[in-house]
A and B are shown apart, each in its own frame.
Chain A
Amino acid sequence: MRIVVGDKSPIIDELQSIFPDAIVAVQPVRDNVPTVWVRQGSLKDVLGYLKSGISKPFRTLFDLTAIDERLRVSRNGQPESDFTVVYHLISYERNEDVRVKVALKGDAPSIPSIVKLWPCANWYEREVWDMFGVRFEGHPNLRRILLPQRWKGHPLRKEHPARATEMGPFELPDYRAEEEDSRLQFHPEEWGLPDYGPDTRYIFLNMGPQHPGTHGPFRIVLALDGEVIVDAIPDIGFHHRGAEKMAERQTWHTFIPYTDRIDYLGGVMNNLPYCMAVERLAGIEVPDKAKVIRVMMAEFFRIASHLVFYGTYAQDVGAMSPVFFMFNDRERVFSIVEAICGGRMHPSWFRIGGVAQDLPKGWEKLVGQFVKYFPARLDEFLKLVMHNRLLKARTKGIGVYTLDEAIEWGVTGPGLRACGLEWDFRKDRPYSGYDQFEFDVPTGQNGDAYDRGAVRAEELRQSLRIIEQCLKMMPDGPYMADHPLATPPPKHLTMHHIETLIHHFLNVTWGPVIPAGEATAIVEATKGNNAYYLISDGNTNSYRTRIRTPSFAHLQMIPLIIRGSAIADLVALLGSIDFVMADVDR
């Protein structure tokens, strides 16, 4: 990995030549992403140029977040800022990223909204408003998105308490309870629905947060004309646990178990981008064996997660049996995971610099059995689910979005590939040694619910292929990097080697001190692209941890897709998106 210090990429040169006054600074970061600071006034011009003016444009707003910079010590020549808003763009044509930052001053900062430029900025800006209190001028509906509307303060600001014990005791007197109850009354206009008048013929149906069809606490308010959805307003935040705030209290090492629970079906797949980002900050090179082990475990979790998808997808259109078959096989995956990691759904098994342990004796036998067993099952599942005519009737041509819409709205993963774009981070930006493996990237053509299912069904087979190659090519060598910041250091050395003993002591009790800097790591996770954007201030814990999850972007798009369809189609669409609410709300 190359560490970029003050390096200039062609994209920055181009921006500087076109907007000579707009670029305030170019920031060196640890992850190769060209990062420019832009004057607030020219933000829209720069982003607009990047989106449509430039050749091979950056059409995806991958992430939009903010940083409370007020307590940051090591700024390394970054412009003065109290709050920084960060835009992360991706161009699939260029296979390049660019990061645009805007410095904001004062306690009630504001910045022009870019919703008109990227409609998917809507939720991201609401989240930044919710978490940081940054006001987006011109935003159509700037309400809190994750926290209750009546929350006081903005939690990701540094002065906001991180633990309940730092706040006053919780009280809910009767009058407050009644007030809260009365606020549950549904008023269409509060939700950004048009005023249909008192004699409206529409039914407003509140689907969720407790509903069997919504896969967790997800609420979607529907305006119905008979059974036809006139409008849909998704509401999230019921699963919000403040993982990003927790990251600022935990050491770099002790945050790993929290990442497991972001996409709770993804297990160690969540550890991977986090550990990779920390390793980029620390400059740790992970040994080959650890890389292959990581790939193998990540692919096992892809299988486990896709099996849940497969079953619930069929269940959502009314087939009740497949989900049991899938869960049985997921159980087999978990028994292998358990034999290797000790844990099942949330093993928290990756470490900064490698993995927690070497593979146990006899792991080849377990994995080998599974590799032999599973393909026949996959054929059976295809017959049972994907080739079923009723399922085809329920999913073909349902929940369609075009490739352009998908790129525009930040859809990633199988949902993007179902539209026909062959883009997979494992292939296009190989990480953790994925370039050593042979596998195909399945794509669809129609971008409908059926293709999203079919793409995942094929991905199961490809994951199995990768696992088979891991089995055959597992290298020898250490499972942990030989680096002072690798946590914990190799245990067998601690009793013989004083340096290792000290590092072990420090890294485990205080946590490793990661050098100041910024780095993003993106992986092809189970449900799309999962990214960790880490900012270290040269401390034992993270200054800011931004978790970009795929499902957040996917859910935002639902109203666009579903208007004019029936309720049954909404359920098929939700099933085909494959989201978990923990991944949306974090």
Chain B
Amino acid sequence: MDLAIPVILVIVKVLLVIFVVLTFVAYTTLLERRVLGWFQVRLGPNRVGPWGLLQPLADGAKLLLKEEVTVTAANRWIYLVAPLIVVTCALTPFAVIPFAKDLYLDRIFDQAASKFVLNTGVISDLNVGILFVFAVSSLGTYGVLLGGWSSNNKYSLLGGVRAGAQMISYELALSLSVIGVLLLAGTLSLTQIVEAQDSVWKWYVFRQPLGFILFLIAGSAEIGRTPFDLVECENELVAGYQTEYSAMKFGLFYLGEYAHLLFLSALMTTLYFGGWQGPFFPPIVWFLIKTFFFAFVFIWIRATYPRLRYDRVMAFGWKVLLPVGLFNVMVTAFVYTLWLQYRG
């Protein structure tokens, strides 16, 4: 009994988080469509339920019930696995994102809860959390690349190749931009990074402004959002690597993309904006407010900007973001070391 309860509780917690994340992902699609609608002087989906709130359900039902079409010339297994890779790699990193301080389990289970180490606002407080995040989300590139390649369609292939090249290039800039934060926090654990930002002026966005801007740019390239949405830009590549995907397989790609968007917003909140820290409201509310604010920012950018040309995106990544990122790391290290010397 003593052994069973923790296991069950862990499973329940994981399922709960996945369920909540998936729900939020579904509603991010609605948010995007409604917000784009407002930006573009139109209504957006508002027919299904009040304010269109049931739209994600209707979309999900539609995608599930649609006929699955597999291209005959496709490399079947890889073709089927690709969307799964994308979704898995987009959802897994949520495991290390601290979404609250604790879960108030002690009120339910009395003192017993403290024994389980479950009373934390994170599924797993890995001590190498940020490495885990980058490792797993980079794997997602495989899904896109393989999906594009196995469809046996030239548009998909071009989309897949673009995706591979772009994600690898920007992964580098993204990692570099984070190193500043890691230096200052002195830890790789996301929970400790959040705890280090216990007042607004300690938020890393103020100590790492350049790093934050780099992260925002590289991040939006990483998730393939405007102005870096070359991977699936419809005017050139129809739908890029997703061209030959239909029904729920397409739905999974879609899900993966929005999960990635939400995850990046959550990571930005965690690294630069103090995570769940904030006055008055419960931590989870602060976390959601901040996360959805960044989701909104990404949508806002999408409504505003045209997209760049592929070769310029690559050039920008390697010739601008990477050197600036290195510069940021060096300056941070230098200043921080000086400060430590001076203080101690």
Contacts and interface: CB of A to CB of B under 8 A. Distances in A.
Interface stretch (A125-133, A191-199, A400-408, A567-575): A567-575
Interface string A202-225: 010110000111000000000000
Contacts of B158: 205, 227, 567
A213 B234 contact: yes
Contact of A324 (B40, B229, B230): B40
Contact of B307 (A317, A324, A328): A317
Nearest to B155: A205
Interface string B299-327: 00011111111111000000000000000
A318 interface: yes
Nearest to A212: B234
B154 interface: yes
B115 interface: no
Contacts of B237: 567
Contacts of A316: 235
B1 to A, nearest CB: 57
A28 B306 CA distance: 54
A502 B69 CA distance: 65
Given A211-B238, A227-B158, A321 B308 contact: no
A395 to B, nearest CB: 9
A373 B304 CA distance: 23
Residue of B236, B305, B310 with highest tally of chain A CB at under 10 A? B236
B201 interface: no
B236 A571 contact: yes
B107 interface: no
A469 interface: no
Interface string B217-257: 00000000011011001111110000000000000000000
Contacts of A227: 158, 310-311
A292 interface: no
Consensus secondary structure, chain B interface: helix
Contacts of A339: none
Contacts of A568: 230, 233, 236, 309-310
Interface in A529-580: 566-571, 575
Interface residues of A, number: 30
Interface in A351-400: 388, 390-391, 393-394
Interface string B318-343: 00000000000000000000000000
Interface string A308-349: 000000111111110011001000000000000000000000
Contact of A319 (B41, B238, B305, B311): B305
A446 to B, nearest CB: 18
B235 A388 contact: no
A324 B238 CA distance: 20
A568 to B, nearest CB: 4
Nearest to A569: B309
Contacts of A211: 238
A390 B310 contact: no
Contacts of B41: 324-325, 328
B154 A566 contact: no
B243 to A, nearest CB: 11
B306 A212 contact: no
A185 B156 CA distance: 19
Nearest to A215: B235
Contacts of A320: 36, 40, 226, 302-303
Contacts of A328: 41
B66 interface: no
A316 B234 CA distance: 9
Contacts of B235: 212-213, 315-318, 571, 575
A562 to B, nearest CB: 13
A321 B304 contact: yes
Contacts of A325: 40-41
A390 B308 contact: yes
A213 B155 CA distance: 13
Residue of B229, B305, B312 with highest tally of chain A CB at under 10 A? B305
B39 interface: yes
B303 A566 contact: no
Give 8 nearest A-B pairs by CB, closest first.
A318-B307, A324-B40, A319-B306, A213-B235, A318-B306, A317-B306, A568-B309, A212-B234
13 contacts: A205-B154, A205-B155, A227-B311, A318-B233, A320-B40, A324-B42, A325-B41, A390-B307, A390-B308, A393-B308, A394-B307, A567-B237, A568-B309
Given A320-B302, A324-B40, A571-B236, 6 more contacts: A318-B308, A324-B41, A388-B306, A390-B308, A391-B306, A393-B309
